[in-house]
Amino acid sequence: MTRPEATFTSPADPTAVAAYLADPRNLVIANNKRPIVDQSDDGPTATGSWYVLKLDQLRLRVEYVAFDPPTRIEVEIVSSGFGSAGYRQRVEYRLAPDSTGTGTTITQEGEGRGGIPILGRLMAGLVRRRMQRRFDSIPPTPPST
Contacts of residue 101, defined as CB under 8 A and 6 or more positions apart, other chains included, come to none
Mean pLDDT of 128-135: 92
Mean pLDDT of 71-96: 92
Residue 66 domain-assigned? yes
Residue 144 domain-assigned? no
Residue 126 domain-assigned? yes
Residue 55 domain-assigned? yes
pLDDT for the residue numbered 137: 95
Residue 70 domain-assigned? yes
Count of domains observed in the chain? 1
| Rounded distance between C-alpha atoms, residue 120 and residue 128, angstroms | 12
**Domain CATH code at residue 30:** 3.30.530.20
Residue 145 domain-assigned? no
Q: Are 106 and 94 in contact (CB under 8 A)?
A: yes
| Rounded distance between C-alpha atoms, residue 71 and residue 8, angstroms | 14
> Global pTM?
0.88
Domain that holds residue 113: 5-136
Q: How confident is the model at residue 77 (pLDDT cuts 50, 70, 90)?
A: very high
Residue 142 domain-assigned? no
Mean pLDDT of 34-59: 91
Poorest-pLDDT segment among 30-34, 35-39, 69-73: 30-34
